Amino acid sequence: MDSFSQRIYALVRRVPAGKVATYGQLASLSGAPRSARAVGTVLAACRDPSVPCHRVVDRLGGVKPAFDTFAPGTQRALLESEGVTFTRAGRVDLAAHLWHPRDGG
DNA sequence: CCGATGACCAAAC
DNA sequence: TGTTTGGCCATCG
């Protein structure tokens, strides 16, 4: 397990149900604000069910179904099951579900 | 190590 | 809103 992916998973696990985080956000929190790309690559290789990778979306809330991790439509179904709402554009309402990392939260 | 690819992000048209 | 271009980092061959 590489330290990089380790940090990413650690952050994704910190994301509570009903909330979502963006790749850039996780990247920044992991200490690499420019490795948003790498975050996606790491999550794409995610094999740990303990990591709610379905709560990770792009900076616009758009979901990218990866056939290696989820079936087409599964990610959205999971988020909706947690209380996350979507817009007519098929994007997550980040204004209401964007995860805000807190120290005491 | 090098070359190609990708679940990204920001800027421009 | 959608397409195209440039930069970044990690993974795979």
**Per-residue pLDDT for chain A (105 aa), expressed as one digit of tens each?**
788 999 999 999 999 999 999 999 999 999 999 999 999 999 988 888 899 999 999 999 988 766 678 887 889 999 999 999 998 888 899 999 999 988 776
What CATH architecture applies to the domain A3-103? Orthogonal Bundle (1.10)
According to the model, what pLDDT value does residue A46 have? 85
Q: CA–CA separation, A33 vs A82, rounded Å?
A: 28
- Per-residue tokens: A77: 């179904």
How far in angstroms lies nucleotide B3's C1' from the CA of residue A40? 21
E-strand spans in A1-105? 21-22, 56-57
A53 is catalytic: yes
Q: Which residues of A70-103 are buried (b: 16+ CB within 10 A; e: fewer)?
A: beeeebbebbeebebeeeeeeebebeebbbeeee
* Nearest nt to the A89 alpha carbon by C1': C1
